[in-house]
């Protein structure tokens, strides 16, 4: 949610910032703005709607400054208006500020500032923060202006409660930016004679691959020639400069119509990257280099506890099925947003896993901290090196799928399914899975990318089905065992990008209530495996058909469906049960994508949604 971009250098800041904001559009936003410094004067432009509208408005303005900050806002405090868009200028015109996060005690601070003569033009908590910095700046002893500026920010942040990623400019310091973070990501880019700030590395990768990932409680003071990092307690911090390994081309559309389409078709390569180097030499098990837990300690674990949100939560449900099936270890899966507010009885020898593509999901981060507070080891599965969850976890696994720009997760989700299946293998081989079964399992996982490639060849068929079904307003997605979470994911994808109401259920639960929804106007998407569940799922399909419901069946090739039972049949490759959820996910992704395209939806930037949810 929200995006931050800042720039200090020799070039016109507004053009560089606007380019960065365009690259952050996928995070979700409803308004955008930019402010630059020319001498002691702030040049400001902000506007509701897309960054393209902001670019048009700034093109008519002269914004020659080489120091600036820009923002894309996802509304929390106050509605979607130009006045509520960032940046905000303090009422004394000294401070300009952009902010991601939520200031929880803003009301009491605002009340105090009103007594000191400060005025407010917006409904936001962010403007309160800017005026408080201005208040402390006015009170700060007149040492060097830069030091005075930094200390005013430091004193302000000691008084606020909540989360923030901020970038601040001061009219008295025309070539300086002060930035800080607590619970909201912030990255410093170190370029050639220039510095950049961003909430996401994709905003700055076109200008530099050298970055510093700021930690919670850190403040960075950037000038035209250098930067320094300190803590809220005024302790100096030695910066660690990391190198981003992916290229700007990885975050561009190429020949695809949308990033979601691109990322669906990138899944075979993404799966190969996720598993590369992670199988033993004898080909009988998985291996993970970053878990930081020995095999002996792993054997003592008597329960796994998974924490995640959204699509990652669905991936955890699949991991639960596979771990219990192949490793015989009990698994609990919690919504991260609920976990820390429950007084959950926990096993003494439990091990926690968090799943988050961005590594910045605020609910997952908070749940991880709660588990660690209770003395548990927490391992993480995420895709972003240097993210908050990656840094704070006791160990973990990077997904290595490259940047995922589309808001609706696709390649990150199937990578999480793969890594969950590999974890089930890893633990199973430590316990009672035989060598031969392990070899078969590894062989199946290694074949997953080619099976996904074969499934992607069904795209034209799914595009045709999407045209026939795009006008329906309700859908049901139904599956059993490890395909039930895939049904949940299919329903979520359709809701996210087409705005069609959809629900996912275990197929057998239909007769316990949801069957009341069945009509000719409510199609059902069935995920049909061969094997022991086949007849059970067919029975549920017959219940739907008897009530004149339309059926779209996604079935494996060995399924012998009764003639006429399904209105549409999509045949996917037969495969090992550890790989089946990955392969079955591809058709539901394509179906949702093509329905959204047919309805002319904004596929990569669906309304009200954000790629990374960084506010609670």
Please check whether residue 409 is in contact with residue 381, taking contact to mean a CB–CB distance below 8 angstroms. no
Catalytic residue among 110, 182, 377, 611: 611
Catalytic residue among 2, 173, 309, 316: 2
Q: Pick the closest to residue 97 from 165, 198, 50, 143 (CA basis).
A: 165
Phi/psi of residue 94, nearest 5 degrees: -95, -30
Decide if 511 is catalytic: no
Question: How far is Cα 512 from Cα 532, in angstroms, rounded to an integer?
Answer: 22
Tokens 């409510």, residue located: 522
Decide if 170 is catalytic: no
* 227-231 vs 236-237, strand pairing mode: antiparallel
Beta-strand ranges (E) seen in 349-467 are 350-356, 378-382, 395-398
Q: Coil, strand, or helix at residue 323?
A: helix
Phi/psi of residue 520, nearest 5 degrees: -65, -15
36 has which bridge partners?
43, 68
Question: How far is Cα 450 from Cα 529, in angstroms, rounded to an integer?
Answer: 19
Please check whether residue 329 is in contact with residue 302, taking contact to mean a CB–CB distance below 8 angstroms. yes
Pull the structure tokens for residue 452.
Answer: 């996904």
* 67-73 vs 41-48, strand pairing mode: unpaired
Question: How far is Cα 242 from Cα 211, in angstroms, rounded to an integer?
Answer: 5
Please check whether residue 9 is in contact with residue 189, taking contact to mean a CB–CB distance below 8 angstroms. no
The residues annotated with a catalytic role in the active site are 2, 611
């Amino acid at each position: 949610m929200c995006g931050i971009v800042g720039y200090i250098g020799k070039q016109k800041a507004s053009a560089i910032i606007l380019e960065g904001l365009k690259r952050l559009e996928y995070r979700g936003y409803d308004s955008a703005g930019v402010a630059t410094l020319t001498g002691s004067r702030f040049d400001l432009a902000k506007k509701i709607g897309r960054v393209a509208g902001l670019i048009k408005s700034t093109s008519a303005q002269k914004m020659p400054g080489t120091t600036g900050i820009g923002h894309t806002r996802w509304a929390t405090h106050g509605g979607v208006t130009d006045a509520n868009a960032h940046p905000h200028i303090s009422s004394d015109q000294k401070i300009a500020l952009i902010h991601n996060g939520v200031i929880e005690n803003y009301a009491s601070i605002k009340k105090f500032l009103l007594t000191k003569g400060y005025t407010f033009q917006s409904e936001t908590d962010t403007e309160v923060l800017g005026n408080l910095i201005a208040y402390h700046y006015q009170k700060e002893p007149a040492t060097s202006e830069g030091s005075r500026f930094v200390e005013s920010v430091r004193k302000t942040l000691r008084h606020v409660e909540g989360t923030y990623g901020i970038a601040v400019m001061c009219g008295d310091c025309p070539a300086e930016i002060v930035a800080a973070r607590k619970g909201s990501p912030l990255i410093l880019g170190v370029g050639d004679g220039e510095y950049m700030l961003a909430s996401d590395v994709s905003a700055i990768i076109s200008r530099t691959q050298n970055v510093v990932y700021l930690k919670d409680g850190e403040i960075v003071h950037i000038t035209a020639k250098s930067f320094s990092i300190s803590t809220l307690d005024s302790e100096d911090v030695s910066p660690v400069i990391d190198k981003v390994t992916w290229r700007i081309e990885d975050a561009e559309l190429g020949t695809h119509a949308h990033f979601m389409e691109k990322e669906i078709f990138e899944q075979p390569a993404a799966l190969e990257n996720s598993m590369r180097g992670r199988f033993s030499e004898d080909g009988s098990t998985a291996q993970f280099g970053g878990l930081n837990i020995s095999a002996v300690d792993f054997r003592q674990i008597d329960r796994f506890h998974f924490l995640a949100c959204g699509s990652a939560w669905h991936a955890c449900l699949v991991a639960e099925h596979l771990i219990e099936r192949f490793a015989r270890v009990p698994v609990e899966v919690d919504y991260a947003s609920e976990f820390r507010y429950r007084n959950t009885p926990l096993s003494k020898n439990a091990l926690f896993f968090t799943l988050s593509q961005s590594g910045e999901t605020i609910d997952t981060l908070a749940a991880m901290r709660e588990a660690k507070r209770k003395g548990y080891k927490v391992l993480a599965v995420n895709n972003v090196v240097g993210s908050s969850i990656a840094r704070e976890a006791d160990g973990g696994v990077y997904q290595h799928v490259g940047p995922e720009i589309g808001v609706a997760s696709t390649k990150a989700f199937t990578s999480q399914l793969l890594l969950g299946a590999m974890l089930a293998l890893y633990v199973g081989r430590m316990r009672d899975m035989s060598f031969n079964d392990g070899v078969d399992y590894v062989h199946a996982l290694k074949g997953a990318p080619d099976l996904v490639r074969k499934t992607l060849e069904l795209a034209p068929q799914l595009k045709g089905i999407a045209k026939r079904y795009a006008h329906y307003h309700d859908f049901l997605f139904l599956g059993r065992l490890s395909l039930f979470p895939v049904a949940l994911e299919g329903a979520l994808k359709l809701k996210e990008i087409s705005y069609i109401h959809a629900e996912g259920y275990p197929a057998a639960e239909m007769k316990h209530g949801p069957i009341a929804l069945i009509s000719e106007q409510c199609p059902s998407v069935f995920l049909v495996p061969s094997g022991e569940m086949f007849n059970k799922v067919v029975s549920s399909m017959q219940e739907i058909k008897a009530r004149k419901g339309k059926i779209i069946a996604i079935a494996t090739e060995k399924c012998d469906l009764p003639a006429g039972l399904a209105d549409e049949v999509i045949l996917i490759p037969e495969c090992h049960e550890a790989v089946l959820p990955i392969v079955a996910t591809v058709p539901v992704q394509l179906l949702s994508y093509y329905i959204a395209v047919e309805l002319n939806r904004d596929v990569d930037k669906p309304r009200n949604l954000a790629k990374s949810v960084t506010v609670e």
